[in-house]
Every structure is written in C-alpha cells, then in structure tokens.
Structure 1
Amino acid sequence: MSLTHVETVPRWRRIGLWSLKVLLAAVFFAAGGAKLAGVPMMVESFEHLGLGQWFRYVTGTLEVIGAVMILLPAFAAFGGALLATIMVGAILAHLFAIPGSPIPAIVLFALSGLIVFAHRDQIESLTRRIFDDHD
C-alpha cells in the first residue's frame, strides 16, 4: 500500500514567494539588460575589474538567464543558485576592486538564497536521480 504525502503550502506563502521571484527577476533582468546594453556606469565598473568587457556581456547574459529561470517553476532553484553565485562574485568585486558598497549585492545574494531554499526539492530530486542511477 502506498501513501502519498501531499503538502499544501499556505496561500500567503505562495503569494510571498511569487512576489519575491517577480521582484528579483525584475532587478536581475534590469541589471543584466543594462550590462548588455552597455550603460556607461556598467562599462566603467567592469573596466575597474580589469577582466575586459567580454566579462560584462557574460555576466549580463547570466543575469538575464537567471531572471527567467526563477520564474519557471521547474528551474527556479537552479536560477536562484545561478543568481546567488553571480552575487558572490559581485560581493567580492565590491570588496576588492570596484568602489561602492557590497550591501546591495549581499541583499540580492540572500534573496536568491531564499529562492533556492524554497525550491530545494528540485535540487534534491536532481541529486537523487544522478546518484541513484549510478548505484
């Protein structure tokens, strides 16, 4: 006999999570779009890094991809992980290379981490499929 455990998430939690995902997607889509569009402030920031403007394009592209991913239910955890990883780089850049406060990047890192945590079942499922298939 099989029992299926169905968890019902309270409506307020679903609304709160979707609100966070939409807000975060808008922020990263705007930031990634600014990088891809060559907004002078972004060009200057990446010039300070000294890695070349190609890195601005890569970062902007990854931010836009991450923004889209967090809005797709099947990829939300992976999009959150991608964005959190980008924010680790942004925090380090602000601490060591670019003038300005790392606080916005820290906040975006934490919010991206919340997305990963809320959708951790996706990562657990993928991990289980990868490692259970090889036993």
Structure 2
Amino acid sequence: MSETTMNTATGATAARGRGAVALTVARVVLALFFAFSAFAKLIAHESAIESFDRMGWSHGAMYLIGALEMAGAVALLVPLLSGVAAMAFVGLLAGASVVQLTLLDPVNAIMPTLLIVLVVLIARDRQDSTAQLIALVRRRA
C-alpha cells in the first residue's frame, strides 16, 4: 500500500472516530435534554401544565408524553436500544413540530425540526445495534 493511500485511510479512520465520539456526546446531551423535558411533565411543572392547557390536551397526555420522553432518554444511553430510541424520537419530534406550528408558537417549531436531523444521524450511526436488537427479539419470539 502506498504512503498516500495509508494516510488517506488513517485520515478516514480518524474522521470516523471523531464522528462516533461526537454522536456519543450528542446521545448523552439529548438524553439529558429529554429527561429534563420529561421530568417537567412528570412532576406537572406549571410550564408543562400551561402548554398542555393551551393545546387543549389533558394532563394524562402530558404524563404519557413525559413517560415516553423519559423512557427514550434512558434508552438513548443503552447502546443496544439507542438506535431504536433515536427512531422513536423522530416520530415524537415530528409531532412536536406539528404541535408547535399549529397549536402553540410556530417560531418554536425549528427546535424539534433541528433535533430530528440529529436523532436521524444517531439512528443511522447505531443501525448495527438496531439490527442486533431485531435479531435478538426474533430469536426469542
């Protein structure tokens, strides 16, 4: 192998390594973000109650969404579950974008939309673990 080819391969490996580290950091930060958001809903913080009242949704919906966010936050931290959690968050965040656009403040729809890009990158990065999880579930079914 020529020196140029080796340098290119080493550079590509280093870039993949930095990307993997960045996505791992992103998973942890997102898990904290979603856990914080879930916690506000699960303790019925006044800001969460106000938002759900503005939407005309019940407190039961607030608790359900908070529980889903908390479960997803924990799953993002579990390597085998992180890809599936990221895919689930695509749906949750798409719903949040629609709610912001139609029921709350359209300007705030940009945040969940941007987060969708990040969770898609995480889901793509964790596709091997998702395949492992699917194979595990199929073996046990």
TM-score by length of 2: 0.78
Where does structure 1 lack aligned partners over 5 or more consecutive residues? 1-6
Which is greater in Rg? 2
Equivalent AA in structure 2 for residue 73 of structure 1: P
Name the SS for the 1:98 alignment partner. Answer: coil
Name the counterpart of 1:113: 120
State the number of aligned residues.
128
4+ runs deviating over 6 angstroms: 128-131
Once residues 126 and 18 of structure 1 are traced to their aligned partners in structure 2, the CA distance between those partners, rounded to angstroms, is 19
Question: 1:130 and 1:67, CA in 2 relative to 1: closer, same or farther beyond 3 A?
Answer: closer
In structure 1, how many angstroms separate the alpha carbons of the residues matched to 2:118 and 2:16? Answer: 20
CA RMSD of aligned residues (A): 2.6
Quick one: which amino acid aligns to residue 98 of structure 2? L
Aligned twin of 2:46: 40
Partner amino acid, structure 2, of 1:22: V
2:25 aligns with: 19
> Which residue of structure 2 lines up, in the alignment, with residue 92 of structure 1?
98
Shift of 1:125: 4.6
Is the 8 Å Cα contact of residues 49 and 59 (structure 2) preserved in structure 1? yes
2:81 is matched with 75
Q: Which runs of 5+ in 2 are unaligned?
A: 1-12
% identity of equivalent residues:
25
Per-residue CA deviation, residues 36-55 of structure 1 (Å, 9 max, x unaligned), is: 11111111111122221111
